[in-house]
């Protein structure tokens, strides 16, 4: 190079980039430093008496108990690399609604009933497909008023199925699909034709309404599938967070599946003064506090006539001075009698929640094999990365749980619980502490920025309360685990769950104090404070906490041992095609098949993956036309096994958006 100035300029730039890269975290991470994932327990013994599990896919969670297991076994580790797209269905749901695409999330899991795959779109249309070809058989449009702005995206996770044991199978509506909408309707339609069941309340639908005034119709919605127990259909609700103390109530409603008549309602806030849980709400706070809703999926034990509710936090999320006490029935697994709504037992996972650590996932109703005997349990995964395993009859711990001291608060007016429940045998699946020196950055400059942000946040480990200085809430309010829930392999006692590893900074401000502009703010009216919530990201948009940013793990529910953990997801669709193996946050869940495979989309790259159930090793990845932020399903149809996933992305992430349902099968 003849120009010395140019030559030295290029050398200087190269040295700058080298120092920046080597001084950042990525170089060392790619070399394997800081990667503490390891096999922690031996693989469970495989049982051979599981023929009664996983037949078909008649409910959102595979079965009513959320096992997410299929007995289909044609696809195995030996032939999974032959998977190819068998058919693609496009719903056309965005026609005339392109402007709402970025506010949508395709989170549906179809169910297989009446020789049809039935699912709901982002705008609550219900569509039935031929399971072998993807051909549309019928469609029901509830005419959702899209001028509403739902607090939690335009989304619908699933529908429910009910068969009338008293009706002639040939008459209309002898079998029904129940769907719940973003404008808070519960609708009954004929499972064979998609026509409304007009004898169900008013022309086939029941209209729910909030118990308190809302700022926008989208503050009170329904996003998850109803549950059916006996001849009763049950629904929760999704309510916008952090607006006010006196928010809409999170009553769970039950209706007669034939007529739509109200059967019972359960409010997780104990309004009745004679309720024993009332004493865990100071003063009259149980009369005014809202939320404590059930926004995620419920589980049903038909034999015991029990329905299991995962309840959320009270309003508002990050300050509880107006509701002092443990706030029981909030942040709990609650078991009710399905026909009456009578309380049977409850277990609280977080006392006096001020972190938005509500119970986000479907309670898992599983049979665990121990000492030659089967034990019926409820396994609950949480945003903290904990797995609580309870006896299904009593709610008592099946695996030990203990109360441990947690950090106090220094916020005037707040009183947090001095202890919280921790599983003894199973450590948290994600970290909750970070040394600022470990702040992550692709380059030295990113790393220095993240180190500074971490040093500036209050951080005393898990359950450090929100503060006026700004608190590191780690794991963040998206989990740990989230609504995708977990899958269970009954042959191995193995619970498989994908978890997120990222942090929020939550800061409280006195009512008249100016807050940081440009980030999420919640007014928390009725309290002395407002709040801001910021996802802690570096300048390149990756989390400041060390990778992996997403993981998938397997837990032996007999012992509580973590059998394996693996990084999950790449940055391919986050970084313009550069597929760094850092893992990504994920939304959607796994399923397990009798062929010894886990299938999961969920990560923030556009793939459906197959993993080895015994090791978590990735065996195959199929490219999707849009993000797979949904839980797949698998079934056998006319001699062929299919794996199906909704591919439509998530508007709050950077995944590709769309309106697809994709089926994979072995090539011929």
Does residue 617 contact residue 632 with C-beta atoms inside 8 Å? no
Q: What distance, in Å, lies between the first and last C-alpha atoms of the chain? A: 58
Angle ∠(69,72,76) on CA atoms, nearest 5: 100
Does residue 436 contact residue 454 with C-beta atoms inside 8 Å? yes
Place of tokens 């127990």: 229
Please give the structure tokens belonging to residue 399.
């695996």
Q: Is the peptide bond before 487 cis (omega within 30 degrees of 0)?
A: no
Distance CA 33, CA 217 (A): 49
Tell me the torsion sign for CA atoms 489, 490, 492, 495.
positive
- The DSSP element (H or E) to which 26 belongs, if any, is helix 26-30
The set of catalytic residues is 356
For the CA atoms of 37, 73, 53, 63, the dihedral, rounded to the nearest 10 degrees, stands at: 80
112: which residues sit within 8 A by CB, 6+ positions away?
Answer: 56, 57, 58, 118, 131, 633, 635
Please give the structure tokens belonging to residue 37.
């994932």
Task: For residue 507, give the nearest of 496, 499, 515, 518 by alpha carbon.
Answer: 515
Q: What is the CA radius of gyration of the chain?
A: 24
Q: Where are the beta strands (DSSP E) in 106-239?
A: 111-113, 116-120, 126-129, 136-140, 160-163, 175-180, 185-190, 205-207, 220-221, 227-229, 232-235, 238-239
Q: In Å, what is the CA distance from 643 to each residue of 110, 632, 636?
A: 11, 7, 9
Place of tokens 């099968």: 665
18-46 b/e (C-beta count within 10 Å ≥ 16 → b):
eebeebbbbeebeeeeeeeeeebeebbee
252-266 b/e (C-beta count within 10 Å ≥ 16 → b):
bbbbebbebeebbeb
Name the percent of the chain in helix, strand, coil, to the closest 5. Answer: 10, 35, 55
Place of tokens 């199929």: 622
């Amino acid at each position: 190079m003849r120009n010395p100035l140019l030559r030295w300029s290029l050398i200087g730039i190269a040295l700058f980039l080298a120092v920046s890269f080597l001084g950042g975290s990525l170089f060392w991470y790619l070399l394997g430093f800081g990667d503490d994932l390891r096999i922690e327990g031996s693989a469970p013994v495989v049982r051979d008496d599981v023929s009664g599990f996983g037949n078909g896919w008649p409910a959102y969670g595979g079965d009513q108990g959320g096992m997410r297991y299929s007995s289909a076994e044609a696809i195995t580790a030996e032939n999974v690399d032959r998977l190819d797209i068998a058919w693609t269905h496009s719903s056309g749901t965005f026609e005339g609604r392109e402007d709402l695409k970025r506010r949508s999330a395709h989170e549906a899991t179809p169910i297989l009933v009446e020789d049809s795959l039935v699912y709901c779109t982002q705008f609550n249309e219900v569509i039935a497909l031929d399971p072998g070809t993807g051909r549309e058989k019928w469609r029901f449009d509830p005419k959702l008023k899209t001028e509403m702005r739902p607090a939690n995206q335009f989304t619908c996770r699933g529908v429910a199925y009910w068969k009338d044991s008293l009706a002639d199978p040939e008459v209309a509506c002898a079998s029904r699909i129940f769907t719940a909408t973003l404008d808070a309707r519960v609708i009954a339609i004929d499972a064979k034709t998609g026509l409304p069941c007009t004898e169900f309340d008013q022309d086939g639908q029941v209209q729910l309404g909030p118990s308190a005034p809302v700022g926008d119709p989208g503050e009170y919605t329904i996003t998850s599938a109803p549950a059916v127990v006996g001849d009763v259909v049950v629904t929760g609700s999704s309510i916008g967070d952090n607006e006010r103390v006196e928010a809409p109530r999170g009553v769970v409603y039950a209706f007669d599946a034939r007529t739509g008549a109200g059967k019972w309602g359960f409010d997780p806030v104990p309004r009745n003064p004679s309720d024993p849980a009332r004493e865990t709400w100071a003063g009259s706070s149980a009369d005014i506090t809202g939320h404590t809703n059930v926004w995620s999926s419920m589980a049903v034990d038909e034999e015991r006539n029990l329905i299991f509710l995962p309840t959320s936090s009270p309003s508002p999320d990050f300050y509880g001075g107006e509701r002092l006490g443990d706030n029981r029935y909030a942040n709990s697994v609650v078991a009710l009698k399905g026909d009456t709504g009578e309380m049977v037992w409850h277990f609280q996972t977080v006392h006096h929640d001020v972190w938005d650590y509500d119970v986000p996932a479907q309670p898992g109703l599983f049979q665990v094999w121990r000492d030659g005997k089967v034990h019926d349990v409820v396994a609950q995964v949480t945003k903290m990365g904990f797995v609580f395993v309870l006896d299904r009859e009593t709610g008592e711990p099946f695996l030990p749980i203990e109360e441990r001291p947690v950090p106090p608060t220094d916020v005037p007016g707040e009183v947090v619980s001095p202890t919280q429940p921790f599983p003894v045998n199973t450590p948290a699946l994600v970290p909750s502490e970070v040394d600022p020196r470990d702040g992550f950055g692709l380059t030295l400059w990113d790393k220095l920025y993240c180190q500074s942000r971490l040093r500036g946040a209050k951080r005393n480990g898990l359950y450090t309360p929100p503060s006026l200085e700004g608190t590191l809430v780690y794991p963040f309010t998206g989990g740990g685990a989230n609504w995708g829930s977990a899958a269970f392999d009954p042959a191995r006692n193995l619970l498989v769950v994908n978890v997120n590893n990222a942090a929020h900074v939550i800061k409280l401000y006195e009512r008249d104090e100016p807050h940081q502009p440009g980030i999420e703010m919640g007014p928390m009216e009725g309290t002395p404070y407002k709040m801001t919530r910021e996802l802690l990201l570096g300048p390149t948009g990756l989390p400041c906490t060390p990778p992996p940013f997403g993981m998938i793990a397997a837990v032996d529910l007999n012992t509580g041992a973590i059998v394996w953990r693996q990084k999950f997801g790449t940055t391919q669709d986050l970084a313009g095609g550069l597929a760094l193996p850092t893992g990504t946050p994920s939304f959607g869940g796994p399923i397990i098949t009798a062929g010894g495979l886990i299938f999961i989309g969920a990560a923030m790259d556009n793939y459906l993956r197959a993993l080895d159930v015994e090791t978590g090793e990735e065996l195959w990845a199929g490219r999707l036309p849009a993000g797979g932020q949904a839980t797949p399903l698998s079934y056998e149809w006319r001699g062929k096994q299919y794996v199906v996933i909704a591919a439509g992305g998530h508007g709050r992430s950077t995944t590709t958006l769309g309106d697809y349902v994709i089926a994979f099968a072995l090539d011929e």
